Amino acid sequence: MRLFNPLRYDRQHHDQRTTRVMRRTMEFFENKGLKKIKQDDQAMVWYQDFLDFLAQEKPFAELLTPAGYGPATSRWDMSRLAEYNELLAFYGLCYWYAWQVTILGLGPIWMGDNEAVKHEAAKLLQEGGVFAFGLSERAHGADIYSTEMTLHPQPGGTYLARGEKYYIGNGNCAALVSTFGKIAGTGEYVFFVVKTDHPNYECVKKIDTSGVRQAYVAHYALRDYPISDAEILSRGKLAWDSSLSTINVGKFELGFASMGICTHAFYEAMGHAARRTLYGRQVTDFPHVKKIFNEAYCRLVAMRLVGLRAADYLRAASDGDRRYLLYNPIVKMKVTSQGEKVIALLHEVIAAKGYEQDTYFEMAIRDIGMLPKLEGTEHVNMALIIKFVKNYFFGPVEYPPLPTRDDPADDAYLFRQYTGGLSKIKFPDYRLAYEGVDLANVKVFRQQAELFRELLIKAPPSAQQAANVDYMLAAGELFTLIAYAQLILENAKLLNEDQDVVNQIFDFLVRDYSNGALRMVLGYQNSPEQEEIYRAMLLKPEPDQTGFERVWQELVLPLRDQYQAGS
């Protein structure tokens, strides 16, 4: 799989407008140059130049307007959104953040039933507007049960909005802020929009953060802000579903942001190492350095295989196929945490250079850890993933084969998805992904996966263990790795991924799985039957030095000259 590279970008989209959007965005950042990007970052300069670019080229309008509300080529296409996520984060997470919170802010609008606001939002996007998502509160975070934002009914059927929201990106300048609250007296959930330039909208302060320094993360308050039916997007169950479904869409973007950061950091670390000589040897000739770069590369390729395959499931979603609700949190949780591992590996090579303020790597170190913490922590998403374990392993059903979904279609289902019913979501036999794969480490990992299934049959968690959240989250990590591996294998077949790379990917997956099993043995009380099976999972990958060297010589080392940021 080729990594994203703006200097060698040759992807031809289904329409010229999409290709122009991607190329013009890359040109904007390349012309700005890393030096200016870093200067603005260090000075926490508000990125007005980026907002001016949005108004001129209208990439948000093209990519974030569903079909029927904008120009002929506009559509909500998750394959395009995935690429744009990676592109923006490649240059700086603050630019991606403006995009991410715009996606969140648009979610309740496109999911709601207020057609007038939908057309207004499309017009504002054409003008270069960004949006915001007013869900979190200072005292409650994203606990929507406890929201204190309230609409107070007034004579004549209008309302006054009172309350505050906290940690809201774009809260200083958003064209519209989708705000979640309750109606006083009834407690009915409601989504409504407000404008940041209204006199009853108070932007209380900017919340300074160690990462995305240039972004404006706001604390805002509504002081008797007048609301009528014209501003209300949804009420009751639709408002509730819109909050959760928006997060379902938004959390997916995080994995691709992690890929963008890791890819740029990889190029910079490889270029630095290839230009250095220590003890009379080129740094990239040291065996441990080659091992680090190979593993970082393979982990990054695996992240992309998983993310792109999860996008296929999102795009194919329907009321009859909601498998994306498993794969989506895996992208959010597992892909972003793998991004942390990639940066940690690369940091072992680039070392002190990575702290220098004129490098991209300095931003990568600082920003990569934010992504697993946004749109729900890893623990929250793991708790969601665990709900699928039983149906994933038992009672498989048949689905039609799912091809790569990069067709120019509008993913309209994402704006009418419903919540709940997770126990009814079925899966095909996960072992289908292993058919036709004759790689040593894939076979070892399959043994580990089969042992997990055996554990569920012969020695499932006791009532006491099931009540121990920490125990279940640790065991859930093993399940997550199995589903992660399935997506890798599916997409490796569809994209004809290099087989030596796939074998190297499963080398680290076997090790990661064994580490997880060892944690279950050392960290928790298990029954004798459970202990025996967990110990049986402690397997080593099969060494393949020939494949390792070929991946290094043909795929990894050549990346030393592939990209260097413009000055």
Tell whether 465 and 505 lie within a shared domain. Answer: yes
pLDDT for 380: 62
Instruction: Identify the CA nearest to 145 among candidates 252, 251, 247, 244.
Output: 244
123 by Cβ neighbours in 10 Å (0-12 / 13-18 / 19+) ranks as: middle
> Do residues 221 and 155 both lie within one domain?
yes
In this structure, what DSSP letter does residue 46 have? -
End position of a domain, from candidates 107, 129, 151: 129
Q: Is residue 293 part of a domain?
A: no
Say which residues have a Cβ less than 8 Å from residue 380's Cβ, sequence separation at least 6.
none
DSSP 131: E
On whether residue 282 sits in a domain, the answer given is no
Choosing from 202, 221, 241, the residue where a domain stops is 241
Torsion over CA: 533, 536, 538, 542 (sign): negative
pLDDT of residue 516: 97
Answer yes or no: is 483 within a domain. Answer: yes
Residues 118 and 145 in one domain: no
- Identify whether residues 196 and 99 lie together within a single domain: no
Nearest to 449 by CA among 430, 436, 462: 430
H/E element, 520: helix 499-523
Q: What is the dihedral of CA 356, 361, 363, 364, to 10 degrees?
A: -150
The pLDDT assigned to 429 comes to 97
User: For the chain, first and last CA: distance in Å?
Assistant: 28
pLDDT at position 542, please? Answer: 98
Which tokens belong to 264? 């740029």
In a domain, 320, yes or no: no
Q: Which amino acid is at 116?
A: A
445 in a domain, yes or no?
yes
Please count the structural domains in the chain: 3
User: For position 278, what pLDDT does the model report?
Assistant: 83
User: Which residue range(s) make up the domain with 104?
Assistant: 6-129
Listed residues 129, 164, 183: the one ending a domain = 129
Name the phi and psi angles at 39, rounded to 5. -60, -45
Could you tell me if residue 67 is inside a domain? yes
Looking up tokens 């501003």, which residue turns up?
Answer: 231
What does the pLDDT read at residue 40? Answer: 95
CATH number at residue 57: 1.10.540
The reply to whether 72 and 180 lie within a common domain is no
pLDDT 10s digit of each residue in the chain, 567 long? 689 999 999 888 888 999 999 999 999 999 999 999 999 999 999 999 999 999 999 999 999 999 999 988 999 999 999 999 999 999 999 999 999 999 999 999 999 999 999 999 999 999 999 999 999 999 888 788 889 999 999 999 999 999 999 999 999 999 999 999 999 999 999 999 999 999 999 999 999 888 888 999 999 999 999 999 999 999 999 999 999 999 889 888 999 999 999 999 999 999 999 988 888 888 999 999 999 999 999 999 999 999 999 999 999 999 999 999 999 989 998 999 999 999 999 999 999 999 999 999 999 999 999 888 775 555 565 677 788 999 999 989 999 999 999 999 999 999 998 888 888 999 999 999 999 999 999 999 999 999 999 999 999 999 999 889 889 889 999 999 999 999 999 999 999 999 999 999 999 999 999 999 999 999 999 999 999 999 999 999 999 999 999 999 999 999 998 998 865
